[in-house]
Amino acid sequence: MPRIVDHQAFREELLERSFPLFARRGYAQLSMRQIATELNVSTGTLYHYFPAKEAIFEQMFASMSRRMADRVMEFMRQADSDHSRLEQLFAFTALEEQNLQDLLLLILDYQRHAGSESTLQFRREIALFFREVIGDKLGRDHSARAGLVLSILMGILAHRFIDDSIDFASQADMARDMLLARSEPVAV
């Protein structure tokens, strides 16, 4: 009797298992054959699900981004003020620091090695997605600041990658306090 395969679930499993592989080796260093070997599937199976390495990467990145967004939304679900929402967002970032650094490095590596108009569009879509997630969690009044918050978070992650002696918590606290101070109404 033939085995019944849930193709969508198997595709998602391949994408999830691809992330550590891309994070460890980088985009340019992998071929479809190497990916198939590492994932313990045949090259034909891999091509059945994905037409090219670029498709694996982009779908893996989008899938990881959605899962990350779901986790941050769950993490911030109980936050009930600007202060607590920012505090939760920075706390989540500290907990997920390695995965977020890997995502940031991968998108930069992808751009360097597969740079094209489609990768530019892909990067813009990912940035927009994360700005919308942050904007949704910060509330409608602060959605315009979501890009700034994302830039600050990416800056801290990049800074920590370059110099791991930087204390994430103190950097996050200063950034949160600066953002909250700017959101206070100005007395006239």
**How many of the other CB atoms lie within 10 Å of CB of 79?**
17
| pLDDT greater at residue 38 or residue 148 | 38
The pair of structure tokens assigned to 170 is 């103190």
**Spatial distance between the Cα atoms of 27 and 24, rounded to a whole number of angstroms:** 9
Q: What is the CATH number of domain 54-183?
A: 1.10.357
Q: pLDDT for 20-54, tens place per residue?
A: 999 889 888 899 999 999 999 999 999 999 999 98
Residue 140 has pLDDT above 70, yes or no: no
**Sequence-distant (≥ 6) Cβ neighbours of residue 144 within 8 angstroms:** 135
Residue 121 has pLDDT above 60, yes or no: yes
Extract the tokens encoding 186: 């100005």
Extract the tokens encoding 172. 């996050």
Summarize pLDDT for 101-114 with one digit per residue, the tens. 888 888 888 877 77
d(CA 141, CA 120) in angstroms, rounded, equals 29
Which pLDDT band, with edges at 50, 70 and 90, does 185 fall under? very low
Which of these, 108, 102, 84, lies nearest to 160 by C-alpha position?
102
pLDDT higher at 181 or 175: 175
Predicted local confidence at residue 186, as pLDDT: 38
